[in-house]
Amino acid sequence: MRILILNPNTTQGITDRLMGAAQAVAASGTELVSMTAPRGFPYIATRAEAQIGGAIALEMLARQHKHVDAAVIAAFGDPGLFAARELFDIPVVGMAEAAMLTACMLGRRFAIVTFAQALGPWYQECVESHGLTGRLAGIHMLDGAFASVADVQDEKEELLVKLANAAVHESEADVVILAGAPLAGLASKVKHRIPVPVVDQMAAAVKQAEVLAALRVRKAAAGTFRRPSAKATLGLAPEIAVQFTPEGGAP
């Protein structure tokens, strides 16, 4: 089984964090391959950045989807996820969706804990888009600058643990998700300091990608995630444009 870990941020250090967390849980027969966005933003934090990052993620997937069994869009707001499910035959997992669905199997309500105030509105809309607002205990964000986005989990570890514990006690969260690609792998380091289950977003995404790939489900031929009808395009990258042609990689 071959799974693509697709980082739509441009920071290689974040990809390294993601791969470390992924490799820690991947099954022995799973090969993980990574891609870092060739252009865009060091980290995605707003709706506008997510729209641009999602388009770049689709281009990256278009280049690699025939060479892997499943893919993970490894940014917590899942940029480009629903579009990717329209276009490609392989299972595509969103890191946020995987973390939240996993949290729902561990408790009634989950709290999202993250490292920057700017992420709040985008994460709120991500929860809503997945239909999980009723399971959300709250989004809790640090307020302050950081030196390096790739190393923010090291710099802010104590504050993030304190914030997670506050989420548990003040919001009565049953589960905590440490959210945002730069926080990948942090859950395993701090879970003993938080009195409820702590979900690692990357670990949840990899395990769910493995399950979906193993199920070998067919691409939707009907419904809202069927492949778009063929349409003329202008100026798109060739690997994306071909997805809108009659052949389009369709089954």
Q: Which fold has domain 2-96+205-244?
A: Rossmann fold (3.40.50)
pLDDT bracket for residue 71 (50, 70, 90): very high
For the cut 70, the answer to whether the pLDDT of residue 250 exceeds it is no
- pLDDT tens for each residue of 100-127: 999 999 999 999 999 999 999 999 999 9
Q: What is the pLDDT of residues 214-239, one digit of tens each?
A: 999 888 888 888 888 899 999 998 99
Query: How confident is the model over 24-40, as a mean pLDDT?
Result: 97
> Looking at the predicted structure, is the pLDDT value of residue 251 above 60?
no
Mean pLDDT across the chain: 94
Residue 249 has pLDDT above 80, yes or no: no
Report how far residue 98's alpha carbon sits from residue 204's, in angstroms, rounded to the nearest whole number: 6
3-state secondary structure the chain: CEEEEEECCCCHHHHHHHHHHHHHHCCCCCEEEEEECCCCCCCCCCHHHHHHHHHHHHHHHHHHHHHCCEEEECCCCCCCHHHHHHHCCCCEEEHHHHHHHHHHCCCCCEEEEECCHHHHHHHHHHHHHCCCHHHEEEEEECCCCCCCHHHHHHHCHHHHHHHHHHHHHHHCCCEEEECCHHHCCHHHHHHHHCCCCEEEHHHHHHHHHHHHHHHCCCCCCCCCCCCCCCCCCCCCCHHHHHHHCCCCCCC
pLDDT tier, 248 (very low <50, low <70, confident <90, very high otherwise): low
Give residue limits of the domains in the chain: 2-96+205-244, 108-199
Q: Which CATH architecture has domain 108-199?
A: 3-Layer(aba) Sandwich (3.40)
What's the pTM value of the predicted model, to 2 decimals?
Answer: 0.93
CA–CA separation, 97 vs 239, rounded Å? 26
Positive/negative CA dihedral, 72, 73, 76, 78? negative
How far, in Å, CA of 206 to CA of 3, rounded?
A: 8
Split at pLDDT 50, 70, 90, the class of 94 is very high
Domains 2-96+205-244 and 108-199 share a fold: yes
